[in-house]
Amino acid sequence: MARNITSWQALEAAALDYGLLPFFRCGVGLSVEELTPGRYWFAEGVDGPWEWRMEVARRGEVAYGKLFNKKAGLVSREWYPDLANYRRDGYDFDARYEDGLAGHREKQIMDVLTREGPMLSKDLKRAAGFGRDGAKGFDTAITRLMMQTYVTIHSFEYSVDRQGRPYGWGVAKYAVTEDVLGEEVTRGAYGRRPAESKARLVDRLGLLCPRAFDDELERLIR
């Protein structure tokens, strides 16, 4: 596999081309890590995948979040409808919660994001009742919501010091996925049975990763 991702433009183009693109090696032979030359990973003074993902997420042409085995990845607007249809399994979030298939922690997060719109993780934690004096398990809950496709990363923002200079890693801003991609994307495959969407996703990955076994591909999208 050619190692040809060397900019945010190339990262976005790869995500649009492949449709389903894990960020890290995941055993099927397809990932940003495997497509990016090693000199761009954690090189001082050189932008790499960690910086590029911030620009790609901000643009909203592809979805970025924890989408593959609770790890980061990118999914194009072409393939996100089937992923959402399969993962949601016929449930919008409120129906999932009412049927006891989602927990109170996830409900707290969804209520805040639905009411307030996109929000930085540190602010979302506080507003949803997590933190030092509140509930535990924010990271687990937000990961579950991303895996279920109800929440995605809207963008990233750097923290700023007293002199107004950005520092550290970008802080994720989360949003209800419909507020990022639109209902025409998140619900675009609702006319299919979830099992049909699953088969389409496995077939797509099978074309991209011909050496991977079906059970490996199914675990990746589960």
Q: Where are the domains of the chain?
A: 8-216
Segment-wise mean pLDDT, segments of 10 residues, the chain, 222 residues: 82 96 93 93 83 94 96 97 97 96 96 97 94 82 97 90 72 96 96 97 94 91 90
| Cβ pair 85, 91 in contact under 8 A | no
pLDDT at 167: 66
What residues are paired with 104 via a beta bridge?
A: none
Amino acid, res. 94: D
118 alpha carbon, distance to own chain's centre: 15
Which two three-digit tokens encode residue 39?
A: 């000199």
pLDDT at 2: 53
Residue written as tokens 């079906």?
A: 214
pLDDT at 135: 74
Q: What is the dihedral angle through the alpha carbons of 97, 103, 107, 113, rounded to the nearest 10 degrees?
A: -120
Closest by alpha carbon to 222, among 53, 26, 18, 44? Answer: 26
Closest by alpha carbon to 205, among 77, 69, 29? Answer: 29
pLDDT at 134: 65
Which two three-digit tokens encode residue 100?
A: 């006891």
